[in-house]
Every structure is written in C-alpha cells, then in structure tokens.
Amino acid sequence: MSSTTDKIKGLANEAAGNVKQGIGNVTGNDKLVAEGKAQELKGEAQKTVGDVKDGAKNLADKVSGKH
C-alpha cells in the first residue's frame, strides 16, 4: 500500500470512529463508543504508517541522490 493510501484509509477510519463515538455517547451505548475509539486509534496508526513510508522514501531518495 502506498503512503497516500495509508493516510486516506487512516483519515477515513478516524472519521468513522469519531462518528461511532458520537452516536454511542448520544445513545448511551458504551460498546459503540469503545468500537469508535478503537477504529479512531486504528486510523491514527494507519496515518502514522503512511508518514513513516514517506519518511523512508525521502531518506532513500536523499541517500541515492534522487532528491
């Protein structure tokens, strides 16, 4: 998966997780709040993976003289 794909999927998971948490809070559904938090954290991790891939690519480009 490309770094951009990781970042987009991460943002989508964060957004969906936040919506789940909001709905769970409004309805008093603790399970939905927990699921939302877990999905939000998954999204944050996916975005981090994308950032790391970008950093690794930039470093590789510098080392190889492409940048």
Domain ranges of the chain: 3-64
Task: Find the angle CA(42)-CA(17)-CA(19) to the nearest 5 degrees.
Answer: 170
CB 16, CB 37: distance < 8 Å: no
What pLDDT does residue 23 have? 98
- Orientation of helix 3-27 relative to helix 30-64, angle to 10°: 160
Residues, the chain: 67
| Cβ-Cβ contacts under 8 Å for 37 (sequence gap 6 or more) | 17, 21
| Cα–Cα distance, 18 to 40 (Å, whole number) | 6
8-67 per-position pLDDT tens digit: 999 999 999 999 999 999 999 999 999 999 999 999 999 999 999 998 888 888 888 875
